[in-house]
Amino acid sequence: MLTLIFTILMFVVFGKLLIFAIKASWGITKFVVSVILLPLALIGLVIGGLITIALPLLLIIGLICFSRLAK
């Protein structure tokens, strides 16, 4: 009986830890993509001569960021 209770509680505790780890890693991933990868991709597009793609992308991302700040 104690083994069953221990097993159930162990799954509950490690399940909550797993959910917390997934949420934390998702937050870190969003931060890294928005702060590091996106500017590097835009700079790479401009250096590569694809400013016609980089400028509309920058405008769309700017509008999305501006609309989130306005809320």
Report the share of the chain in percent with pLDDT over 70.
99
What SS3 state is found at 49?
Answer: coil
Residues 11-39 have pLDDT tens digits of 888 988 888 888 888 888 888 888 888 88
Angle subtended by helix axes 38-47 and 51-70, to nearest 10? 150
Q: Give domain limits for the chain.
A: 2-70
Q: For position 23, what pLDDT does the model report?
A: 86
Q: Please tell me the distance from the alpha carbon of residue 55 to that of residue 46, in angstroms, as a whole number.
A: 9
Q: pTM (2 decimals)? A: 0.57
The alpha helices in the chain, defined as continuous H runs, are 2-32, 38-47, 51-70
State which H helix or E strand residue 51 sits in: helix 51-70
